[in-house]
Structures are given as structure tokens and as C-alpha cells.
Amino acid sequence: MSADLVQPFLQVKGVKKKYGSVEALRGISLSVYTGEVLAIVGDNGAGKSTIIKILSGAISPDSGEIIIAGKHYQRLQPREAIAAGISTVYQDLALVNTLDIADNIFLGREHLKHGFTLDRKRMHRESTELLRQLGIKIPIIQTEVSYLSGGQRQGVAVARVVHQGGKLLIFDEPTAAMGINETRAVLRLIKSLAENGFGVVVISHNMDQVFDISDRICVMRQGEIVGQVKTDEVDPQDVVAMITGAAVLRETSDDRGSK
Amino acid sequence: MSIRIKMQKMFPQLLLTGVLLLLIVILSITSEYFLSWENFRNILDQSSVHILLAIGMTFVIASGGIDLSVGNLAALSGVVMAVAMKQDIGVFPAVLLGYFVALLFGLINGLIVSYIKISPFITTLASMSIARGFALILTGGVSIYGFSTTFKFWGTGSIGPINPPILLSLIFSILGIFLLAKTLWGKYSLALGGNGEALRYTGVNVGLYRISIYCFSAICAATAGLIMTARLNSAAPLAGATYELDAIAAVVLGGTSMKGGKASIIGTFIACLTLGVIRNGLTMLAVPTYYQLVITGSIILAAIIISELRSREA
């Protein structure tokens, strides 16, 4: 076990969030380690999106604490979250279809020549290198993003997040509306990110997928975490039972992400 | 990048260039006066106001917006310059004041679109009316005429083989090409139209960029106003009406997407020239003005349909 795995990269402690009288999160605590894939599952309204939004700084929690790499936060601003290394990979929201791949990867963090004009040569070179390192295959870096497949777009979105310094990547339904081959490519990418030392959080409704890629599963139900389990210690039926509330709370003895 | 992709991207501009060349050939055959430097200079001169307005409009449309106020804003800044010159404050301060008023309109357009999130169509429709209103109020509805030679130079002077209007329209075109292709401002204009949310998400101050785009359009309008007023030696409060529509037509004809995110300054420039050649040719062929409107409109429609069908195929 590497030292990385001992200290969680991200810890969420007792986070609560109310929308009016609706308790979206009733005191959530979870940890994410680098080098692992944590799947968050749960029915609609279980609070998955809320916790993701809190982690990406889109909304502020009412109470609780977020600890990223040892630093404590009451709430996160979007820029703070990104600076701290937490980035959400939005499949469609984050890419500008009409710009090329390199323009997208460097969007908002362009290299400039003489502090004035865009240094496209350098950005193209670095983009190509980055995509190669991440094992994302894309034919030509000048291709407009609108011409890419869903899987390739996901790859570009990931490359951008990694380029921004992302250490923990959050995927919200990463394979929604994708074909079989596309889905396979994205799942492979997610696994290889974890193998390369990134922490990965995946929200998914697809149990096969969750069991295929995750190391641990965190089950949410009505704003609470009703189970944190190691993927290889449970069956899909157990998890579905927890999601629907048919099974009682069940915790693995140790919620660390060791394999 | 493969040549095929480049060609596909450039299709609207290539098509337009083809149309322009074809028109030049046809008009050269049908009219003995068409093919001459004098006439070409004339076409450039007459297109200069359209080019200026269309360059600004290209960035606005690229960013997913529209600016209907430019025609009336050109008239208003011309009127402001004229009124100021009649107060004997000097040509340069008067011109500066005209630009300042236009910039104020651009700023307000941008602020309302960015921060109150009113649609650009409605916002600039309103400011278009306000600009015209002020132009009429300032002049009492009558043209102001008779300016100094220094001022008239910007409309009727000559600089070597060309004149100031042509020079200004060329400068703005080259500036536009440079800004769009080489600068952050150009890239963000496209990104705003392509997916403004994505740009905002990266932490870029999108409001500031959007405001600056409307300001740029206003500066183009003020420059057009300067030329219009200096050329006729008269500031007419009703000048420039429907010029915004000519500008929009040229921008779309040039291959800039009305949905935003894609733009071509070269395309806009060639489109303005093409429309200029059509008007010039029809006049030479003694086609009555009313018919010219029908023909020009039909040509715009045909060209846009062809390039739209083509882009749907791709």
C-alpha cells in the first residue's frame, strides 16, 4: 500500500444542506483516496448531485467540513475547488463545440506570446503530449470538438481538467447517451486515471458499470449515506437493496480504499 | 490539419469568392465601364460603411448576440460630431465626443445583455430607437451641414490611390482578422457564442468580454458615422436606417453562424464587396432601384440557403 492511500485526498465530514424545508443532505461523511474509483449510487433525490455541487463549489453547505489534502474548508468557491485539485468532468457543458481540441483544453488558461497573442503552436504541442500521456487517442489536435465522438469529447474534457491541475475527478453519469464502444472507451479511461494516481468519483445508475470500474461503492438514500462498501465484497443485488431501502445499513469494517 | 477539413471549413468563403468572381466576369462582359480601377475604387468606397458595421457585427454575432443599434448609432454619432463642431470645439474633440457617445451606447447594450440578461435582440432594438430619438432631438429633425476641410477629408479626401473611408475599412478589417485569429479576445468571442457557460466555468469574466464586444461594435458604428457625415458634408438624423440589416446579411453571407461560435472576418469582407459589386453592377445595367432590392435580397437568400444546406450535410 502506498503512502497516498493512507491519508484520504478528500474528506467530507458531517455535511448538511437544506433547500427550504427539504433536507437534501443530512450529515454526510465520506472519504476519497487517490488511485481509487469511488462510485456514488442512489435513487433520484438521494443527494448525489447536491454533494457533487458542494465539492465543485457550485453551492455552499449549511454545516460540516471539507478537508482536501489536509486543508480544511467550511465551503468552497468554484475556483478554490479547482485550485485544490477537485474538478468535475462535464461531458457537454464544459466544451465549446466550435473550437478545436487544443483551444478547449487550454480554455481560460491560454499561453500567450509577448503577453498578447495566442501561442497556438505551444498549446498544440502540449495538448498532443497531454493526450498521449493520458492514453486518449484523437487523430488531429486541430479538429473541431463538434466532429468528435462522445468518448473522444469525454477524453478532451478529462484532459482539460487534468491540465488545470485536477487530482480528483468527478464524473456525473459519464456514459449517458453513449454507444457500447464509446462507453467502453470512457470506462477504460476512468480506470486508467485511477491507475495513474488520480482519485475518481463516479455517479452512475448503471450497476454493471459501477461493478466494472469502482473499488468502493457509496450508497446514498434520502440525503444520507446508507452504506460504504468495497465493490468486491458485495453483489449488485445487495447494493440495489440498499438503494431502495430494502436492506439495513451496512458498513465494511474499514472504509479505507485499500484493495 | 488535413486540407479537406480546411476546405470544408472555408466552404462559405470559397463559394462567395466564386460568386464574386463570376459576377465580375459577367459584369465586365455586359458593361464596358465595369472593369476599371476607378469603378473598383468606387465600389470599395461605397462598401466602406457597410464593411465597418459588418466587422463589428461579426464579433457580436460570433458571441451569440446581435446588435440592431449600429445603423442608428452611426447616425447619432455623426449628429453628435456635427453639433459639437457647430459649437466650435474643434474637429478632433468633436469626433472624440461622437465616439464617446457611441461607446456609451455599446457599454449600456453590453451591461444590459450581460448582467440583466435581456436578450440582445430586444436590448439593441430598444437602444436603436433611443439612438434615433436622440439624433432627431439634437438636430430638431433637420440635417446639419457645412463642415471644415479637416473634417470633410475623412469622407472625400484622398490618400494615394485610395481615400480615408477605404483606408479605415481596410484597417478595421485587418484589425478584425488579427483580433479573431490571434487574440484571447477573439477566441473568447467565439467561445461565448459556442458555449458561454463553459467559458464562465473556467473562471473567465464573461460579462466583461461580452460588454467589450458591444463596445467594439459601437466603435465601428461611430467610425461609419464619421465617414457618412464627412462624405456628405452633412449629418442627417435619419441616415443609416436599416444599415444594421445590411451588416447582418453580409455577416451571415460571409459564413459566420447566426448561432454563434463560428466567424470569418474575411468572409464578411468578401460578402460586403460582393453586395457592393451587385449594387454597382445593377446600377450600371440601369436596373431600377426597386428591382435592385428584390434582386439583392434574392441573391442573399440563395447564397445562405446553399451554404446552410451544405453545413447540414457535414
Residue ranges of domains in chain B: 36-313
Instruction: Report the 10 Å Cβ neighbour count for B183.
Output: 16
In this predicted model, what pLDDT tens digit does every residue of B157-201 receive, in sequence order? Answer: 999 999 999 999 999 999 999 999 999 999 999 999 999 988 988
pLDDT score of A6: 67
A95 and B195 in contact by Cβ < 8 A?
yes
**Whether A44 contacts A90, CB under 8 Å:** no
Q: Taking a C-beta distance cutoff of 8 angstroms, is the pair A210, A41 a contact?
A: yes
The answer to whether residue A102 scores a pLDDT higher than 80 is yes
Nearest Cα of chain A lies from the Cα of B54 at a distance, in angstroms, of 21
* Cβ-proximal residues to A96 (8 Å cutoff; 6+ apart), any chain: A103, A104, A107, A145, B190, B191, B194, B195, B198, B199, B261
Query: What tens digit of pLDDT does each residue of A153-187 get?
Result: 888 988 888 888 889 999 988 888 788 888 888 89
CATH number for the domain formed by residue range(s) B36-313: 1.10.3470
Element (H, E) at A191: helix A180-195
> In percent, how much of chain A has pLDDT > 70?
92
Is A138 at the interface with chain B, CB within 8 A?
Answer: no
For chain A positions 75-104, those within 8 Å of chain B (CB to CB) are 78-79, 82, 90, 93-99, 103
State how far residue A136 is from chain B, nearest Cα, in angstroms. Answer: 19
What confidence tens digit (pLDDT) does each residue in B251-284 have? 999 989 888 999 999 999 999 999 999 999 998 8
Q: What is the pLDDT of residue B2?
A: 60
Whole-number Å distance between alpha carbons of B10 and B23: 20
Extract the C-alpha cell encoding A183: 462507453
Q: Quick one: which of B43, B59, B2 has its CA closest to B217?
A: B59
Report CA dihedral (B296, B299, B300, B306) to the nearest 10 degrees: 180
Number of Cβ pairs < 8 A linking chain A and chain B: 66
DSSP-based three-state secondary structure for A224: strand
Residue A242 at interface with chain B, using a CB cutoff of 8 Å: no
Residues in chain A closer than 8 A to B2 (CB atoms): 140
Question: Which residues in chain B come in under a pLDDT of 70?
Answer: 1-5, 311, 313-314
Measured between beta carbons, the chain A residues lying within 8 angstroms of B182 are 117-118
Q: Could you identify the residue written with the cell 440635417? A: B143
**What distance lies between CA B176 and its chain's CA centroid?**
11
Q: By the 8 A CB rule, do A171 and A162 touch?
A: no
- Whether A168 and A257 have beta carbons less than 8 Å apart is answered as no
Contacts of B204 in chain A (CB under 8 A): 108
- One DSSP character per residue, B46-115 reads HHHHHHHHHHHHHHHHHTT---TTHHHHHHHHHHHHHHHHHTTS-HHHHHHHHHHHHHHHHHHHHHIIII
pLDDT computed for residue A3 by the predictor? 46
pLDDT at residue A135, as a whole number:
82
Contact in structure between B16 and B267 (CB atoms under 8 Å): yes
CB contact under 8 A, B184 and A99: no
Query: Which of B2, B184, B194 shows the shortest C-beta gap to A110?
Result: B184
* Dihedral sign from CA coordinates of B39, B166, B133, B258: positive
Nearest CB to A108; choose among B2, B195, B203: B203
Best of B195, B199, B312 to mutate (most A CBs within 10 Å, chain A): B195
Cα radius of gyration (chain B)? 19
Cβ <8 Å between B5 and A108? no
Query: Quick check: A4 pLDDT over 80?
Result: no
The 10s digit of each residue's pLDDT in A187-201 is 988 998 999 889 999
Contact A79 B190 (CB under 8 A): no
Say whether B199 and A108 touch across the interface (CB within 8 A). yes
- For cell 479576445, name the residue: B185
Test B5 with A116 for CB contact under 8 angstroms. Answer: no
Contacts of B191 in chain A (CB under 8 A): 96, 99, 103, 107
Mutate to test the interface with A, among B5, B189, B197, B201 (most CBs of A within 10 A): B201
Partners of residue A103 in chain B, C-beta under 8 Å: 187, 191
What pLDDT score does A41 carry? Answer: 92
8 Å CB contact of B182 and A78? no
As a whole number, the mean pLDDT across chain B is 92
Q: Using CA atoms, how far apart are residues B9 and B2, in angstroms rounded to an integer? A: 11
